């Protein structure tokens, strides 16, 4: 029973007791007054009749007439006139009236008896007769019953009004307690909110203490997030341009080269300013730094222009820059290199001579599964060959295997057919606890079927899906298959939503409509949002609130590039946070990565947000994650993506029941 219900019940019981005592006291007082009135009524009637009969005591007819007249005009049980000497009856009238108005239990409760009075009739100095009058209580009992009903009705009305008013006032007084409960639940969801102070002094102190605790937790979290962001910037960001540094470029390149079906082939672009030392001497350090910053801004805008959030621009050293472009086609990267060459030529004269380009650009393609050293060697070779050319400032050196064998028209035709006909197959990759490898959930991945029925990995078609703007189509098709799968196999799953769906109101409305139509699966499916496609801090709550209202879980994946965003994730009620695999690869060998993961873990631990590592490839990385206290992990070490087994028995890498352990 809640405190409000207890207080309301106490008020009702107190009012009932008070009204009962008041009613009984009023009834007893009325009873005593009625008894006195009956006694007085009988005595007055006897006296009046005695006086009236004194002159006519010897006339029996007159005596009988006067007795009948008095008896018929009042409420009497009996009137008797007796001789004084021998008690002989001269006249008598009596009756026993009954009334159905008064219940028997009330008559027994009041216990009202008849009251009598006497008077003497004189004949001179002698007593001639005696008058005996008895008042009947039935009529007084009826009046007492009606008076009791009126009093009870009035007291009941006052009691109801008092209970309603008391309940309303009590609810109003206890409203701060409800707000404190909401505040405590919000803190549990990592939302540090403050409540207005109530007027009641006792509750005001409690609410003030709760607000101080929430403010303290918020400040501690903000300080930890700011410290972690500062550490990340120092470790992975170039101080002059704000681009990624060489360390982060190597990490992202290593992650892209892992043999994962989520990784797409792409290109690496190296740009080197010509004669940087001579440029410093001719134009000064200030103008050279301004030129470097301008080149950095141009490279940073490329990913936005081509709508590729996975592209990474970096400054390696001095006047050397790099652009990692997963999913880029040969035509795109060559067009980009030509535009960069023209842009640099249009900037301030930076060459050592008028005929020498301002910068040289080297291009090379890479495939998942290659080594970083091999890709960088080809990029350096392309850069060296570009320095030998005078007709164009860039050169491309690739291996014999091309990045893409299909042109844009072929991709468009095949993807349109596959998405239109629903040629999609779900693959499942397990996510487990770090300490005991107990299954947490499965990550759902998509593969499209080609005309021969072969499943095509996502790393091959996702760049083209994004390039064609069909990400919402793929999300809707995948959600349809996932909901159908959950209907047949109720297991915890996680599914990604593309940035194109989040930023398209129509597509997002369709996704929300599908989720609301299947509320029974809400507790089993968590929607993962890519950190690289999330909007700004101002638009983030408005975007995620409709998704949360459907009852489905929310999470963020590929986290690590925008660490400052973690301060705004506390208001979203996330189920977990997945660290991007580029920060996990080589975690057991590089101390700086451990420092960064430890900073993230400490920050998320303060807000009780589970942390999961992506793309775990070795036992050394898994051991390092356990030592750091990371909650969960996924990757090829844990299990490769695979279709759901046709039988209900668990299969290695997929279809494992929650609570099972993967060895």
* Contacting residues for 190 by C-beta, under 8 A, at least 6 apart: 569, 570, 571, 573, 574, 607, 608, 609
Structural Rg of the chain based on CA atoms: 48
How far from the centroid of its chain's Cα atoms is residue 585's Cα?
A: 33
Which of the 8 DSSP states describes residue 263? -
Question: Where in the chain are the domains?
Answer: 3-161, 246-396, 408-633
Q: What share of the chain has pLDDT > 70, as a percent?
A: 89
**pLDDT band, residue 654 (cuts 50/70/90):** very low
- Are 532 and 310 in contact by the 8 Å Cβ rule? The answer is yes
Whole-angstrom distance, CA of residue 275 vs CA of residue 280: 9
The strand pair at 577-579 and 611-613 is best described as parallel
HEC string of 500-523 equals: HHHHCHHHHHHHHHHHHCCHHHCC
**At CA 575, angle to CA 574 and CA 577, rounded to 5?**
75
- Would you place residue 657 in the very low, low, confident or very high pLDDT band (cuts 50, 70, 90)? very low
pLDDT tens digit string along 361-373?
A: 899 998 888 888 8
- 310 pLDDT above the threshold of 50: yes
pLDDT (0 to 100) of residue 188: 65
Asked whether 11 and 96 are in contact (CB, 8 A), the reply is: no
Q: What is the pLDDT of residues 119-151, one digit of tens each?
A: 888 777 778 888 888 887 777 777 778 877 887
Tell me the per-residue pLDDT of 317-346, one tens digit each, with 9 for 90 and over.
888 899 998 888 888 888 888 888 887 776
Residue 649 pLDDT exceeds 50? no
> How far from the centroid of its chain's Cα atoms is residue 52's Cα?
94
Q: Which of 575, 530, 234, 581 is nearest to 226 (CA)?
A: 234
Residue 584's Cα: distance from chain center in Å? Answer: 30
Pick the CATH number of 408-633 from 3.20.20.450, 1.10.10.10, 1.10.3720.10, 3.30.420.10: 3.20.20.450
Residue entry with tokens 């487990």: 432
In tens, the pLDDT along 97-106 reads 665 677 777 7
Q: What is the pLDDT of residues 277-306, one digit of tens each?
A: 777 777 777 888 888 888 888 888 776 666
Q: What is the CATH number of domain 246-396?
A: 3.30.70.270
Residues 6+ apart with CB under 8 A from 658: 438, 439, 440, 441, 491, 492
CATH fold label, 3-161: Translation Initiation Factor IF3 (3.30.110)
* Look-up of token digits 């009856």: 89
Which residues, in sequence order, are CB contacts of 355 under 8 Å at separation 6+?
390
Quick one: which of 470, 285, 275, 270 has its CA closest to 376? 270
Across 468-613, the runs of DSSP E, i.e. the strands, are 493-497, 525-530, 553-559, 577-579, 611-613
- Cα–Cα distances in Å, from 552 out to 295, 403, 406, 437? 44, 38, 38, 25
Phi/psi at 501 (nearest 5 deg)? -70, -40
Q: Considering the chain, what percentage of its residues have pLDDT values greater than 90? A: 17
Q: What is the mean pLDDT of residues 347-352?
A: 50
pLDDT score at 477? 93
121 versus 355: the higher-pLDDT residue is 121
Q: What is the dihedral of CA 383, 387, 391, 396, to 10 degrees?
A: -20
Coil, helix or strand for 449? strand
**Stretch among 94-98, 445-449, 459-463 having the lowest mean pLDDT:** 94-98
Q: How confident is the model at residue 504 (pLDDT cuts 50, 70, 90)?
A: confident
pLDDT grade, residue 494 (50/70/90)? very high
Per residue in 53-88, pLDDT (tens digit) is: 888 777 888 888 888 887 777 677 788 888 877 778
Q: What token pair was written down for 29?
A: 């007082």
Average pLDDT, the chain: 80
What pLDDT is stored for residue 655 in this prediction? 40
At 439 the pLDDT is 93
The dihedral formed by the CA atoms of 443, 478, 457 and 586, expressed in degrees to the nearest 10:
-30
Q: Which residue bears the tokens 């026993």?
A: 96
- Number of neighbours of residue 36 by Cβ within 10 angstroms: 11
Q: What is the pLDDT of residue 261?
A: 67
Predicted local confidence at residue 74, as pLDDT: 67
pLDDT in tens, 414-454: 888 888 888 899 999 999 999 889 999 999 999 988 877 78
**Closest Cα partner for 321 from 254, 246, 371?**
246
**DSSP string covering 332-352, please?**
HHHHHHHHHHHHHHHSS--SS
Better-scored residue on pLDDT, 494 or 263: 494
Residue 651's pLDDT is what? 37
pLDDT tens digits, residue range 207-220? 888 788 877 777 77
Contact 303, 314 (CB under 8 A): no
3-class secondary structure, 659: coil
């Amino acid at each position: 029973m809640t405190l409000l219900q207890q207080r309301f019940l106490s008020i009702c019981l107190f009012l009932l007791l008070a009204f009962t005592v008041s009613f009984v006291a009023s009834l007893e007082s009325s009873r005593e007054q009625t008894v006195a009135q009956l006694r007085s009524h009988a005595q007055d009637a006897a006296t009046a009749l005695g006086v009236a009969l004194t002159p006519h005591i010897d006339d029996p007819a007159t005596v009988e007439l006067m007795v009948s007249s008095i008896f018929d005009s009042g409420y009497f049980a009996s009137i008797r006139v007796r001789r004084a000497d021998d008690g002989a009856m001269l006249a008598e009238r009596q009756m026993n009236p009954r009334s159905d108005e008064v219940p028997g239990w009330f008559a027994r409760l009041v216990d009202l008896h008849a009251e009598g009075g006497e008077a003497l009739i004189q004949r001179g100095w002698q007593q001639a007769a005696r008058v005996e009058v008895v008042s009947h209580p039935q009529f007084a009992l009826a009046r007492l019953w009606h008076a009791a009903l009126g009093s009870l009705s009035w007291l009941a009305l006052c009691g109801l009004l008092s209970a309603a008013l008391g309940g309303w006032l009590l609810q109003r007084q206890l409203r701060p307690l409800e707000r404190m409960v909401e505040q405590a639940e919000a803190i549990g969801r990592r939302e540090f909110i403050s409540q207005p102070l109530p007027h009641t002094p006792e509750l005001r102190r409690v609410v003030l203490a709760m607000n101080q605790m929430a403010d303290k937790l918020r400040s501690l979290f903000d300080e930890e997030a700011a410290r972690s962001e500062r550490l990340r910037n120092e470790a992975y960001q170039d101080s002059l341009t704000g681009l990624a540094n060489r360390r982060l470029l190597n990490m992202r390149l290593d992650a892209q080269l892992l043999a994962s079906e989520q990784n797409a082939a792409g290109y690496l672009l190296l740009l080197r300013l010509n004669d940087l030392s001579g440029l410093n001497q001719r134009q000064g350090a200030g103008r050279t730094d301004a030129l470097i910053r301008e080149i950095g801004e141009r490279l940073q805008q490329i990913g936005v222009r081509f709508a590729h959030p996975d592209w990474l621009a970096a400054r390696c050293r001095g006047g050397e820059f790099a652009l990692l472009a997963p999913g880029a086609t040969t035509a795109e990267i060559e067009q980009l290199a030509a535009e960069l060459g023209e842009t640099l030529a249009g900037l301030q004269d930076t060459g050592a001579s008028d005929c020498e380009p301002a910068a040289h650009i080297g291009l090379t393609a890479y495939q998942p599964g290659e080594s970083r050293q091999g890709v960088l060697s080809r990029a350096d070779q392309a850069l060296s060959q570009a320095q030998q050319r005078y007709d164009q400032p860039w050169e491309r050196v690739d291996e014999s295997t091309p990045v893409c064998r299909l042109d844009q028209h072929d991709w468009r035709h095949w993807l349109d057919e596959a998405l239109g006909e629903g040629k999609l197959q779900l693959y499942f990759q397990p996510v487990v606890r770090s300490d005991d490898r107990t299954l947490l959930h499965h990550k759902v991945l998509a593969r499209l079927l080609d005309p021969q029925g072969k499943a095509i990995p996502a790393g091959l078609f996702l760049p083209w899906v994004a390039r064609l703007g069909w990400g919402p189509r793929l999300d809707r098709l995948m959600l349809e298959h996932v909901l159908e799968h959950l209907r047949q196999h109720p297991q915890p799953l996680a599914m990604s939503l593309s940035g194109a769906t989040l930023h398209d109101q129509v597509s997002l409305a369709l996704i929300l409509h599908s989720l609301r139509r299947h509320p029974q699966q809400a507790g089993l499916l968590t929607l993962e949002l890519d950190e690289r496609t999330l909007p700004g801090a101002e638009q983030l709550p408005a975007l995620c609130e409709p998704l949360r209202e459907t009852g489905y879980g929310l999470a963020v994946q590929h986290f690590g590039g925008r660490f400052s965003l973690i301060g705004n994730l506390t208001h979203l009620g996330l189920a977990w946070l997945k660290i991007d695999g580029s920060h996990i690869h080589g975690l057991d060998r590089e101390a700086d990565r451990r420092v960064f993961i430890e900073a993230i873990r400490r920050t998320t631990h303060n807000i009780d947000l589970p942390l999961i590592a992506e793309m775990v490839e070795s036992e050394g990385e898994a051991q390092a994650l356990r030592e750091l206290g990371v909650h969960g992990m996924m990757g090829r070490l844990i299990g490769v993506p695979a279709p759901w087994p046709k039988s209900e028995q668990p299969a290695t890498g997929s279809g494992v029941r929650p609570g099972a352990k993967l060895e």
